[in-house]
Amino acid sequence: MITVAGKRPDSGTLAGFADGSLKRNILSVLETSTHRYAFDTAAQLEFELALRQATVEAAHSLYGSGLRFAVFRDAAANPAYWNVTRDGGFSLKRGAPPARAILDIFENGSAYATECATAMMIVLYGALVKVYGEARFNRLFPQIELMNWHRLDPRLQSFGSLERKDDYFPGDRRYIANPDVDPLTPHWQGENVIELGGGLFYGHGIGIRDAGSIIRSLNRNRVDGATRSAYLMDAAGRPDYRRLAALAAP
């Protein structure tokens, strides 16, 4: 159930900003859920829908960018914008425009290589550039560190933590754990994915597939005699939409 400023909004209000099928799908889950999703303003709800849609679009775009998979020690980035840190993270170069640096990963993906968690952060930053626009994004995020779930901007911290949710939506960051992974290939310990809707997920290095197919890939990298299958965790990481919406206000 959705409430805006404590009241149920009429369907006309909602239809006004659910201008795409993805947003409509999210709205439909929000409305039919037994959980109460409370928004202070209609703009807050609209922002969350827009950022979720942008996250899904950024995931598709990153998939098509040619970004390579690499373990941290083999991480690579375009030196025009990024320094690769000793632990395999990317650190925005002094003087580099943040939005351009993020968009460069989507436009020149083959110049970059990283693992699946950092790719999730790239997706989120790509979506934020889209919803804020380059000028505002540059003001809001003058320093960017991309390093799995560490050195996160405090405003994006909750995207890095996993919590059980009542419902899951396109744009959520999910995790498929592989508890019996062969320790010789620990990079197969699990896959960070973005939920895309329609039962599909984007995982860097694995592509766009349904959960069953990703689980089968992970299971092929288990130790001999494994008894536990990889599984989609009943949890998600979400940015603090309310806080990010406040940053979008003129």
Partner 1 sequence: MYFPRGTANSLNALRRRRGPDACRSEFHKLRASRRAYAAGLVNDPNLSFATCFALLPELRGWQPEGELCPRVRTAVRLCEIIRTDKSADGNAVHPRYDEATRDALRWMFASGEEADGMDADFDRTVDISACVLLKIYHEEEILPGVVRLMFRRNRRGSCLHDLAWAFFQSAGPRALRSVAERLLSPSAKDAELARLLLHLPQAGNSRREKRAQYARYLDWLEENRPYLSPTDEGLCATSSPHACAVNLSAKYLNRKPRAGGPEDAPPLTESEKGCLACFSAAQPEERELLAHFSCKLHEKDPLRWSEWIRRPLEKQIRAARGGEADR
Which positions from 107 through 126 interact with partner 1, judged by CB under 8 A? 115-117
Quickly tell me which residue has 């996993």 as its tokens: 162
Q: Which residues contact 174 (CB under 8 A, 6 or more apart)?
A: 168, 192, 193, 194, 195, 201, 232, 233, 235, 236, 237
CB of 13 to partner 1, least distance (A): 36
Per CB under 8 A, the segment of 7-15, 38-46, 179-187, 241-249 that binds partner 1 is 179-187
Which residue, among 100, 102, 82, has the nearest Cα to 92 in the 3D structure?
82
C-alpha 152/C-alpha 212 separation (Å) is 30
What is the x/- site pattern for partner 1, positions 52-91, by CB under 8 A?
-----------------xxxxxx----------xxxx---
Per CB under 8 A, the segment of 53-61, 93-101, 102-110, 172-180 that binds partner 1 is 172-180
Tokens encoding 105: 């990963």
Which positions from 205 through 224 interact with partner 1, judged by CB under 8 A? 205-206, 217, 220-221, 223-224
**Minimum CB distance to partner 1 smaller for 53 or for 221:** 221
Per CB under 8 A, the segment of 2-10, 39-47, 104-112, 147-155 that binds partner 1 is 147-155
CB of 242 closer than 8 Å to CB of 40: yes
Q: Which residues contact 70 (CB under 8 A, 6 or more apart)?
A: 76, 113, 114, 115
C-alpha 120/C-alpha 16 separation (Å) is 30
Q: Number of residues in contact with partner 1, rule: CB under 8 A?
A: 43
* Strand, coil or helix: 19: coil
CB of 147 to partner 1, least distance (A): 10
Rule CB under 8 A: is residue 190 a binding residue for partner 1? Answer: yes
Rule CB under 8 A: is residue 98 a binding residue for partner 1? Answer: no
Long-range contacts of 212-216 (CB under 8 A, 24+ apart): 214/176, 215/176
**Minimum CB distance to partner 1 smaller for 97 or for 179:** 179
The residue from 6, 154, 183, 250 that contacts partner 1 (CB under 8 A) is 183
| Cα dihedral sign, 210-213-215-221 | negative
Which spans of this chain sit near partner 1 (rule: CB under 8 A)?
A: 69-74, 85-88, 115-117, 148-150, 152, 157, 160-162, 175, 177, 179, 182-190, 192, 205-206, 217, 220-221, 223-224, 233, 237
